[in-house]
A and B are shown apart, each in its own frame.
Chain A
């Protein structure tokens, strides 16, 4: 059954959605059977494209919307949300 989920998360880490954070997010996205999209303002990016994620220019303090569609939508949303709110495993 295809399901769709969405959530809003705050970019907390100091460097924002920079290259390393975007790469970790893209790696995580590919592990789920779900279409994952990030939105910030009028821009959107597929979760598995580092290039597109960098175009969001999401800096510290920005809120991003994440939508997940597919069999793994629920697990994907939780994992992506945790990654963002846990500062992409960064110290600050």
Chain B
């Protein structure tokens, strides 16, 4: 799966600045709601917060993949945020987080979800890719990094 297809250009946000887990999840839910007109922002935020309560989605190396399930959704909504500074996110390696790939996924669809996670992990496992994401100074530049690495 191509990341530039999964994450649309208007869901790629470079050099944002949030200073807490709650704030960044709020912003994610706001962006996701624009893609899912039938859902309300509060439900999306609740789904993300409930998932974090089960254990942080900080997967190490300064990366987190906040996600939540929403019933009645037809497609995955994915959002990429790069924060200007790494913030505490309770990641298992104790590192602060500045790269966020958020997913709002349909209920069920477990196998599809694993495939999506693997596609994202495959890219984020590449140090150079992460460096380029962190260097992007505007949204378009950030999205172009996705396009370039999909080739």
Contacts and interface: CB of A to CB of B under 8 A. Distances in A.
Contacts, number: 65
Contacts of A58: 114
A2 to B, nearest CB: 25
B60 A57 contact: no
Nearest to B117: A54
B55 A59 contact: no
A57 B120 CA distance: 12
Given A14-B110, A18-B117, 15 more contacts: A19-B57, A19-B65, A19-B117, A20-B54, A23-B92, A24-B55, A26-B60, A50-B59, A51-B125, A54-B59, A55-B125, A57-B114, A57-B115, A57-B118, A58-B114
A59 B114 contact: yes
B: interface residue count bin = 20 to 34
Q: Which of B57, B61, B114, B124 has the most CB of A within 10 A?
A: B114
A84 B38 CA distance: 38
A52 B125 contact: yes
A27 B94 CA distance: 11
Interface residues of A, number: 24
B114 A17 contact: yes
Contact of A15 (B59, B60, B110, B125): B110
Contacts of A49: 60, 125
B137 interface: no
Interface of A: 14-20, 22-24, 26-27, 30, 49-52, 54-60
Nearest to B59: A50
